[in-house]
Amino acid sequence: MILFFACGRLGNQLFQYAVLKWLYPEHQLVLFGFDDLHRALELVDAIIIQKEKMPRGLMFSLRKLFAMLAMLRIIGSIAESRENGAYHLRQRRGVVPGLYCFKPSFFQHAKILEQLNPDFDIADGLVQSASRWLKAQGAVSAGRTQVFVHVRRGDYLSWPTCERPAVLGKQWYRNAMEEIRSIVADPLFIVLTDDICYAESCFGDQPDILISHNNKFVDLALMASCELGILSASSFAWWGAWLSRKRHDNKGIYLAPKYWAGHRWGEWRPEGFITHWITYIE
């Protein structure tokens, strides 16, 4: 049995679930706090203990309890390790056989990415909601190529540092859109963002752009439905592109910032988070 406490939002939870299913297919997964994952996917092959259904503070207490049991080696522990540029998982057995608690892990490294091929689908209700929204916007038109544009701001305005944040500037997105326009005859850009006011001020005056006012779950389904994509340095956008690529037989074009979240530093952040089917641009 593998115990894993969610760290991060939907994009991170998708990584955590996909990797755990791949690495430990014979183990029962018990996922604590994976509320977003539970809502986003059609079927989840794991026991999910939802945070929203637990008394306040209990999830934190359980995390502390299992961490202590792992430290005392009563139960086993597994953790990510990045030493001298090498990526691997460190596993320690405990007194209780076959029971492991994972330390906080994100699995965002090329060694993992190139082997991931999870068998999951977005919840059908979300797919239908995305389809209805596209029809209502008049976006279902013969000959038009739908391109998602993920604009993440929020915490990216100050992470990893205030001096060199991961947020992308307006001009980067404009350049990426021009790159797509040079490839595709009649693109329709669908902007998905956590800052609608910003997106409308930057892109709301362009006739080939739609801005989604949907929640993140429908936005994930919208990204999956598009044929091409422009990504922020976000795990959520990465999964939108992965699902889009899967749906369109691995033929899509996906643009993302060079060095990912480290584009202002000129070095990859997270280290090794490189995907061969993404085109990275400055």
Please write the tens of the pLDDT for every residue from 65-76. Answer: 999 999 999 999
Using the CB atoms, write b or e for 155-179: b if 16+ within 10 Å: ebeeeeeeeebbbbeeebbeebbee
Say how far apart CA 107 and CA 4 lie, in whole Å: 13
Q: Which residue has the tokens 């209780």?
A: 96
pLDDT band at 218 (very low <50, low <70, confident <90, very high): very high
What are the pLDDT digits (tens) for 173-182?
A: 999 999 999 9
What's the whole-number mean pLDDT along residues 113-117? 87
pLDDT band at 141 (very low <50, low <70, confident <90, very high): confident
Q: How many percent of the chain have pLDDT more than 70?
A: 100
- Decide if 20 contacts 2 (C-beta within 8 A): yes
Q: Which of the residue ranges 15-19, 106-110, 111-115 would you say has the lowest mean pLDDT?
A: 111-115
Supply the DSSP string of 117-147, one letter for each residue: -----B-HHHHHHHHHHHHHTT---TTPEEE
Half-sphere exposure of 137 (CA within 13 A, CB side): 22
pLDDT band at 147 (very low <50, low <70, confident <90, very high): very high
pLDDT above 90 (res 30): yes
Output the CA angle 98-103-109, nearest 5 degrees.
105
Helix (H) or strand (E) holding 260: none
Give residue 85's pLDDT: 72
Give every CB contact of residue 131 below 8 A, 6+ residues apart in sequence. 225
Say how far apart CA 33 and CA 35 lie, in whole Å: 5
From the list 145, 143, 117, 97, the residue with the least C-alpha distance to 18 is 117
Say how far apart CA 57 and CA 52 lie, in whole Å: 11
Q: What are the tokens at 265?
A: 């530093």
What are the pLDDT digits (tens) for 152-181?
A: 999 999 999 999 999 999 999 999 999 999
pLDDT band at 114 (very low <50, low <70, confident <90, very high): confident
Average pLDDT, the chain: 94
Give residue 206's pLDDT: 87
What's the whole-number mean pLDDT along residues 35-45? 96
Say how far apart CA 16 and CA 58 lie, in whole Å: 22
The dihedral region occupied by 171, where left means phi > 0, alpha psi between -120 and 50, and beta the remainder, is alpha
pLDDT band at 20 (very low <50, low <70, confident <90, very high): very high
What's the whole-number mean pLDDT along residues 15-21? 96
Q: Which of the residue ranges 7-21, 34-48, 134-148 would you say has the lowest mean pLDDT?
A: 134-148
Q: Helix-strand-coil percent breakdown of the chain, rounded to 5?
A: 35, 20, 40
Say how far apart CA 168 and CA 232 lie, in whole Å: 7
Instruction: Give Cα 143 to chain centroid, integer Å.
Output: 29
Cis peptide before 160 (omega within 30 of 0): yes
Q: Which of the residue ranges 26-40, 81-95, 247-261 would you say has the lowest mean pLDDT?
A: 81-95
Q: What are the tokens at 100?
A: 């492991």
